[in-house]
Each structure stands twice: as structure tokens, then as C-alpha cells.
């Protein structure tokens, strides 16, 4: 039985994919990746992400303002984001990538929080799931989510916190993104968390071209490598791989409102 995947987080609007989209999608499809969700990082990327989704049926767009680009985000960009979401024929399936980050030297954290709150309100207004970035901010991010209570939930991508923090997000209605981190044996804490969470809380992602897998350090990550992430996931969890793949595919389809495959 061939396994089917959705890469729920891939920056396909950046090199090495730019100008090589068709070949990259063919490689992904050969590995069982039938859909790729592309989250934007800034308003400047909105047109490119939307254009990719228009050109390629396997790409679904998400629009948001990433915390790492905080100094470039303007209040006008929130208005621009809302204008895109308000279009009757909007193809946008999620709001993101947004979130919080305290890994930077000068994080402008109050500004990050204001931008996040604005996007949480938009996600609630337009009934969209969220694609969330969080580094050293899991507890603070959970506080914002509790305060705004976005109804559609979403995914905390690239998760590397504790089991208790992951469970808090799951209890708030969010999924946990599983990516290349689990391919590193030294990432014992993250591997243990992913092993313990319920299967219906998990999504697969690559964060390509970032977050390279073990053995691929120094090379751009790619969406077809989600199959390798899944292989490692199967070593961390009991059960039959086909059933686990079907469950995770179903999680992705339901969250992002794709046609749902029964499991």
C-alpha cells in the first residue's frame, strides 16, 4: 500500500524551489506527498504564495506575518491581510505563519504580541486555522490562545517543548507539527513528546528549505523528505504504519478542510 502525505508547512516560495516548482512537486508526489501548504512570512510574499496556489493544484496557501520579520511588519500589512481574507473567492486555507519568538537578540516582543493578537482576531473572524511559530515562548503563546480562543484551532509547528506544554496546546484544540527534529537521536525530549501524544494530535511537516533532517545537514530541506520523517516517527510509536499515516492524513484534511479520506 502506498502511503499518502500532506506537507503542512513548506516555504515553497523560497529557493531552491523558485523556478523549479514543477520538478520539485514531481519529486514530492513520487514520495507520496499529494499536497503542500505554503505559509507566507510577510506581506511582500502574499502575491507569490497566492500565485503558486493558482498555478499548481497541489499547493494550498496560508497568509500571515512571521515573528522573525517583526521589524518589517506594518499595521497596514494587517489591513492588507484582512483584505485578502475577505475576498469571496479567497483560496487561503489558514492564517500563518504567525506566532512568537524569543530566540532573537532583539525580539521587539511587545510588537510581536500585538501582531499576533491582530492575527488571532482575524483567524477567529474568518474561521481559519492557525499555523503557529513558537521558540522559547510556548507558555506565552498558550496564554494568548486562551485569551482569544480562536475557534478553528491550528498547528504549533516545529514543536520542541515539553510534554506538558504540548498537552496544553492539544487541550486548547491545536495540533503538533512533527518534522525533521525527531530524526536526530540527540533530540530525546522532542522524540519522547511525539511518542506520547495521541495520534489524532499530530501533523507532518518539513519546514523546507529549513529544518534539515539528520543526514542532510547543510543541504536545503525538501518536501519529499517528509517520508523520512514518517519512517522515524514509526520507530517511535507502536502500531501499523499504514494506519498511522492514514490517521495523520485525516488530521490534516479535517483541520484544513480538504476532502476527507475515511480511516
**Annotated binding residues, as ranges?**
9, 11, 97, 133, 157, 207
Quote the CA–CA distance of 134 and 137 in Å, as a whole number.
6
CB contact at 8 A, 63 and 34? no
Residue 82, all three cell numbers = 484582512
Closest C-alpha to 57, from 76, 35, 24, 27: 35
Binding-site residues for a divalent metal cation, please? 9, 11, 97, 133, 157, 207
Angle, nearest 10°, between helix axes 188-196 and 163-171?
A: 40
Closest C-alpha to 193, from 170, 216, 224: 170
Quote the CA–CA distance of 90 and 220 in Å, as a whole number.
30
Please state whether 32 falls in left (phi above 0), alpha (psi between -120 and 50) or beta: left
Amino acid at each position: 500500500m502506498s502511503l499518502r502525505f500532506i506537507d503542512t508547512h513548506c516555504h515553497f516560495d523560497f529557493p531552491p524551489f523558485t523556478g523549479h516548482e514543477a520538478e520539485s512537486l514531481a519529486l514530492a508526489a513520487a514520495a507520496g506527498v499529494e499536497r503542500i501548504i505554503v505559509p507566507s512570512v510577510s506581506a511582500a510574499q502574499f502575491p507569490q504564495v497566492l500565485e503558486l496556489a493558482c498555478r499548481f493544484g497541489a499547493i494550498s496557501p496560508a497568509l500571515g506575518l512571521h515573528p522573525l520579520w517583526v521589524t518589517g511588519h506594518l499595521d497596514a500589512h494587517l489591513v492588507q491581510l484582512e483584505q485578502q481574507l475577505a475576498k469571496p473567492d479567497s483560496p487561503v486555507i489558514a492564517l500563518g505563519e504567525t506566532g512568537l519568538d524569543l530566540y532573537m537578540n532583539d525580539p521587539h516582543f511587545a510588537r510581536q504580541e500585538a501582531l499576533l493578537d491582530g492575527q488571532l482576531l482575524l483567524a477567529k473572524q474568518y474561521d481559519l486555522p492557525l499555523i503557529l511559530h513558537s521558540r522559547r515562548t510556548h507558555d506565552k503563546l498558550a496564554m494568548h490562545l486562551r485569551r482569544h480562543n480562536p475557534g478553528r484551532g491550528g498547528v504549533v509547528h516545529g514543536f520542541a517543548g515539553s510534554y506538558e506544554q504540548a498537552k496544553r496546546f492539544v487541550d486548547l484544540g491545536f495540533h503538533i507539527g512533527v518534522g525533521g527534529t525527531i530524526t536526530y537521536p540527540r533530540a530525546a525530549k522532542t522524540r519522547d513528546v511525539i511518542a506520547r501524544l495521541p495520534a489524532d494530535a499530530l501533523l507532518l511537516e518539513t519546514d523546507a528549505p529549513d529544518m534539515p533532517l539528520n543526514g542532510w545537514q547543510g543541504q536545503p530541506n525538501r518536501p519529499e523528505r517528509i517520508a523520512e520523517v514518517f519512517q522515524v516517527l514509526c520507530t517511535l510509536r507502536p502500531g501499523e504504519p499504514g494506519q498511522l499515516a492514514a490517521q495523520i492524513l485525516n488530521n490534516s484534511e479535517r483541520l484544513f478542510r480538504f476532502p476527507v479520506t475515511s480511516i
